[in-house]
Chain A
Amino acid sequence: MMLSFFDQFASPTYLGIPLIALALSLPWILYPTPSNRWLNNRLLTLQAWFINRFTQQLLLPLNIGGHKWAMLFASLMIFLMTLNLLGLLPYTFTPTTQLSLNMGLAVPLWLATVIIGMRNQPTIALGHLLPEGTPAPLIPVLIIIETISLFIRPLALGVRLTANLTAGHLLIQLIATAAFVLFPMMPTVAILTSTVLFLLTLLEVAVAMIQAYVFVLLLSLYLQENV
């Protein structure tokens, strides 16, 4: 059976058991539970510090109504970042390369923000469809454009995450294959390719963290508009 480069993105099953469930739930064990102690070990201290700082920064522009989403945002960020970073290890499967998962995260959350806006402050929510200071003749066109932009948002959220991670993983595979194939034939070129691979890995680490952050940040922005 010929292996293509896209087989790494096939959702793994074993004897009919979808292993994506394990891939989604096992990263949880990497994070220790906060204990009753006042002074904890280093891992717990750093974890608590990071989550506190991140949530504080993210919730700065939100008003009190938006603070209800604090736990969701913090856990979503940690979840996505862990999944992305663990996917960079060899022979691992990254669940966030699956469009189904990312759309499953993006669409309900985006829809929640829209519905909250429409229910609590429909005028303001609809008012976002028309930016301030548009000249009068442009208004109808702009409303259509803004509506399209509104409905593209969940698609963009999901596809952005999927595409970034899939592209990154594919590139790593391709360049690693190139280095592997060139190694017996032209070692110097293989070393150059390995350098490219090293740099790409660094980029992918950054991308993994940034994409998770961007996902959560955009959701908080959508919430800010509507709450």
Chain B
Amino acid sequence: MLGLSLREVSAALKQGQVSPMELCQKCLSLIKETKFLNAYITVAEEKALKQAEESEKRYEKGQALGVLDGIPVAVKDNFSTAGIETTCASSMLKGYIPPYNATVVQKLLDQGAVLLGKTNLDEFAMGSGSTDGIFGPVRNPWSYSKQYREKRKQSHHRADEDSNWLITGGSSGGSAAAVSAFTCFAALGSDTGGSTRNPAALCGLVGLKPTYGLVSRYGLIPLVNSMDVPGILTRCVDDAAIVLGVLAGHDPKDSTTTQDPVGPFILPILRDVSKLCIGIPKEYNVPELSSEMQAFWSKAADLFASKGAKVVEVSLPHTSYSIVCYHVLCTAEVASNMARFDGLEYGHRCNVNVSTEAMYAATRREGFNDVVRGRILSGNFFLLRENYDDYFVKAQKVRRLIANDFVKVFNSGVDVLLTPTTLSDAVPYLEFIKEDNRTRSAQDDIFTQSVNMAGLPAVNVPMALSSQGLPVGLQLIGRAFSDQQLLTVAKWFEEQVQFPVIQLQELVDNCPTFSQHEKLGLVSLKRNLSKTKDWRYYGESKRKKLGPCRTNTFSQIKIKTNFTSHFGF
């Protein structure tokens, strides 16, 4: 049941195969059992149950609010939630309970969605690993998947060695882990430089960064206002489209949202891709890209070509400047946005009371981690009168060049760009923390960042498992406000590649639905890997019904309470 798609679980709720309360309780107990993933910062159990109860009443009266009524969702802990602590994984906001809901949160609730809790992240969303928050790192559920463990066994690693757990990517790692581990059906992330797409790629999820201005930022605690977009993490493209349909549209509280009508985001089934032109930006073929990832990328391109799409190499010449440009613009806005955290109106306040200035200094020193403080410092440096033209103004010009690169490519007839999302599959935590946050962020956002500079829609679509048994995703980038078209192509791609479902041991043991899926998934995976040369193999009718989100079985999953012990916790 927990592995169903939104449409399926919605149908199950309507047909009474499961009640909102049952669904909510199942998710809540799974959250408890997967606590070691550290996906959630706050679990709003009482509130969630109350929402589920209300939803149940609505279903009983036949007055369901919408497609999300009764469906458990999770929200990254940098979206304001009325009455629920919102921390941004920072000491600065520990204990801060917003008095209002972010527009996107309100829209989910208005649809009857059940908000389970707030998910973990890097402090103030500054990071690419979900490792740098005060609540500790998030663990990638794939660390505990059968697929990964078996591969490790084959390569003579000890399967149970626990120190090798993997990062989720970030900064929306908590949301990614929550969806990936089936604790909720969809989650909100935020995406400033790749923070939704990156963890989606590493956790085998669909991660959508909508066009800037399509979805309201009101209530999203900002990282970079001019690049932030609420992101959507789901297990399939259709689910992302459904959530986007709920969230998209003008918000009078966010002046940067479009005033044009949007949606509906109902995705047609694309049968013919021959009119499609796929661009492959040559500058994305960087030396740091793992050879395996590169291989998947070119196979994906071949797949499009083999189905009749026009695949062309294109150039985005200013790509290499995007990291440094982003560094300046991001830190400048961070310096500005973080100025409000002074301990006066809300949030952490130190005990120093010598003077207002001393209080500010101590509050901010105590409240922010090194990463945040470092960015504030750089940002203020770039904004100094004598530096402004040399850094900020230049960076803005470069940003314009980067955005123009995309415009030119799309004007040349390209419909969608196909790129890798990450340099490689997920790395172990111990590996990841060898480099500092800045280095990591600079490396990991390389394929995702420029999209934010240009405000374009982009989506990570999981493609296959790597040789390590870990998810690999590719990024599709569309024209501004062509989110629907982008998702339609993404859906076609998803259908073609049949990404396998994660096999979490316990779920396999206890759930016939999952075991069936996973067995099939595993079979298909093995076949995929053995046939990696022949991408035309994908998309044949045989496996079309075996996708992770497509099942007709609504039998309930019984999850043993000792779920965690199987993972050595």
Please determine whether chains A and B interact with each other in the same assembly: no
What is B's interface to A at a CB cutoff of 8 Å?
none
Q: Which residues of A contact B (CB under 8 A)?
A: none
